[in-house]
Amino acid sequence: TEDQFIGITLAQLFENDIGNCKDIVRELLDNGSIFTESYETRMDGTQMWVEGDYTCLYDHKNRIIGHIGVQQDVTDRKIAENKLKESERQVNESLDLLSGILESFDDTVVFAIDKEYRYIAFNENHKNTMRLIWGVDIELGKSMLDYIHDSENHEKAKSNFDRAMEGEYFKVVEQYGDTEFDRRWYENSYNPLYDSDNDIIGVALLLSDITDRKKHELEIIESKKLLEAMFESIQDGISIMDPDMTIKKVNRYMEDLHPNKVPLEGKKCYQVYRNRNDVCDSCPVLKTFETHETCTQVVPHIDKDSGTDRKLEVFSYPIIDNDGNVVNVVEFLRDITDRIKVEKLERNQVLIQEIHHRVKNNLQVIISLLNMQSNLFTDEKIKGAFRESQSRIRSMSLAHEKLYAGDNVANVEISDYITSLVNHIKQMNMSVNIPVEIDIDVDELYLNMDTTIPLGLLVNEIVTNSFKHAFDGRDKGNISISFKEIDEGYNLVIQDDGIG
């Protein structure tokens, strides 16, 4: 069954004929492909002929990575060939017998022609096939070549017939049909026909429709190409490891990561990737082989081009056969250096925001303490001095509040800061019983704390002074605040329409 074959080696499969198996493998590796025929015994004890067609599989560097083999029970066809050979001596004496033999094959196309390419026998399958492919009804005594209208196929058929009439037995795989839609694949077995004097009198052909098999082979090839393309396009490093830590296959990313050690296949992973002579102590691949579980680890890597220290995250996944054994491990490598930097930056940002939050809270405590202290005095000048100090501290506290509340932990958006500060000053001076309109024209700028704190103190001082002194005896007032970026710095303009 299929399950009994998956995972076993050729040595196990052909343990009773290991010598012949080795010869076949050597010839396959030398030539790239091989065709075999063997006489085998079925499990029920009956005999069968097996035909094998094997072709090497290559990677993108034209290295052999395996082989694809198609085996077919050709017992019926071999029987037909033997019967044909046996009847060759009698073909002129018993065409009826030959025709009977030809019709005994259910799935095989069989026909025979003489040296003038004229039909001397064919079975019903061939008659139907010629009608299907070429749209013709064939007759005994007519030249088969006359039925083939396509010039290319006409010349190909004649060449093969002539080759067989020279006494050569051979097989070819060819496609026939007038249009691409109708074309089908056939495996053709050419057999010279001999008379009783051992002279060649014609050719007998056995054709097996292998279109489905050919399509399956082509699908396998296309699937392999697709998988290979996907394997090479993955932007992570991939290594497939054997149980002895030998690198079986890698993608281009891994080769780019270790350019001085290419080719990587066939070498020990710890020698190539870690410059060691033995397996790493905490090797995730080894752990996966032992536990059958996915493992992960972060390992250092020195970038040869930049000399920088990179961090690689290693994932190892088991490939398990039908018996539950880990036959290979796939190792994925992903460069996470930039991700680690981003995570560290995010942690630092949270920490800085927390510091600004605490500074803001501490300044609020100082404001509250000053307020409590001012209540101990009745002198309005002293109370006023306390309020001015509170207002100045509030301008600094507000800057820290904007930092921890925003996404930027290093700079304050100054337009929002000045607007919030001025609104607070306005609320603190509600005792000025006249309406005061405030016009704010501030560029959307981001300033650091070294600039923001002094700017806030200036705005606080000047605007507070306008509220206190500019509008005595007036029924309303206006204050304008402008802050613009200029070529060499910034320009702050605060004006009021007060008494001076």
The answer to whether the beta carbons of residues 77 and 206 sit under 8 Å apart is yes
Instruction: Name the one residue in this structure whose structure tokens are 């007036």.
Output: 474
pLDDT at 263 over 80: yes
Residue with the larger pLDDT of the pair 193 and 180? 193
How large is the average pLDDT for residues 368-396? 70
396 pLDDT more than 90: no
Share in percent of the chain as helix, strand, coil (round to 5): 45, 30, 25
Q: What's the whole-number mean pLDDT along residues 447-452?
A: 80
- pLDDT tens digits, residue range 39-70? 887 778 888 888 888 888 888 888 888 888 88
Q: What is the mean pLDDT of residues 21-45?
A: 83
Does CATH place domain 76-215 in 3.40.50.12160? Answer: no
Q: Which CATH fold topology does 2-72 show?
A: Beta-Lactamase (3.30.450)
Query: Is 86 a residue whose pLDDT tops 80?
Result: no
pLDDT of residue 145: 92
Mean predicted lDDT score pLDDT of the chain = 78
Instruction: For residue range 292-305, list pLDDT tens digits in order.
Output: 888 887 777 655 55
Q: Determine the Cα–Cα distance for residues 246 and 284; give it in Å rounded to an integer.
A: 14
Do the Cβ atoms of 445 and 414 come closer than 8 Å?
Answer: yes
Whole-prediction pTM value? 0.37
The phi and psi torsions of 307 (rounded to 5 degrees) equal: 75, 10
Of the two residues 432 and 50, the one the predictor is more confident about is 50
Range with the poorest average pLDDT among 105-114, 191-200, 382-391, 484-493? 382-391
Q: Give the least confident one: 75-79, 95-99, 213-217, 219-223.
A: 95-99
Q: Per-residue pLDDT for 174 more than 70?
A: yes
Confidence of residue 163 (pLDDT cuts 50, 70, 90): very high
CA separation for the pair 476, 432 (Å, rounded): 10
What does the pLDDT read at residue 370? 66
Within 166-268, residue ranges assigned H as helices are 211-233, 252-257
Question: Which one is predicted more confidently, 360 or 260?
Answer: 260
pLDDT-derived band at 362 (thresholds 50, 70, 90) equals low
Residue 107's pLDDT band, with cuts at 50, 70 and 90, is low
Going 159 to 164 to 167 to 168, the CA torsion angle's sign is: positive
Long-range interactions of 4-9: CB distance < 8 A, separation 24+: 6/321, 6/322, 7/321, 7/322, 7/323, 7/325, 7/327
What pLDDT score does 305 carry?
54
Confidence of residue 148 (pLDDT cuts 50, 70, 90): confident
Please tell me the predicted confidence (pLDDT) of residue 494.
86
Instruction: Tell me, yes or no, if the two domains 2-72 and 234-335 fold the same way.
Output: yes
- SS3 call for 121: strand
Under 8 Å between Cβ of 119 and 141: yes
Nearest to 84 by CA among 190, 11, 165: 190
Lowest mean pLDDT among 213-222, 260-269, 356-365, 442-451: 356-365
Give the pLDDT score at 166. Answer: 93
Kindly state the average pLDDT of the residues 399-428.
Answer: 72
Block residue for tokens 């079975």: 123
Q: What is the distance between the alpha carbons of residues 173 and 487, in angstroms, rounded to a whole number? A: 82
- Report whether pLDDT(224) > 60: yes
Q: Do residues 114 and 201 make contact, with C-beta atoms less than 8 angstroms apart?
A: yes
Instruction: Tally Cβ neighbours within 10 Å of residue 418.
Output: 23
Least confident of 68-77, 88-97, 139-148, 472-481: 88-97
Q: Scan for tokens 């927390």, then name that residue.
A: 354
Beta carbons of 143 and 116 less than 8 angstroms apart: yes
What is the rounded distance in angstroms from the CA atom of residue 150 to the CA atom of residue 32? 32
The CATH number of the domain covering residues in 234-335 = 3.30.450.20
Mean pLDDT of 377-400: 69
pLDDT range class, residue 97, cuts 50, 70, 90: very low
Domain map (residue ranges) of the chain: 2-72, 76-215, 234-335, 340-496
Residue percentage of the chain with pLDDT more than 70? 78
pLDDT of residue 353: 60
Is a pLDDT exceeding 90 seen at residue 159? yes
CATH of domain 340-496: 3.30.565
Please count the residues of the chain.
500
Average pLDDT for residues 261-273, to the nearest whole number?
83
Q: Tokens for 194, please give them.
A: 């001999």
C-alpha span between 21 and 17 (Å, rounded): 6
Pick the more confident residue, 85 or 307: 85
Contact between 24 and 14 under an 8 Å Cβ cutoff? The reply is: no
Give 387-425 as a DSSP string: HHHHHHHHHHHHHHHHHHHSS-SSEEEHHHHHHHHHHHH
User: What mean pLDDT do residues 141-157 have?
Assistant: 88
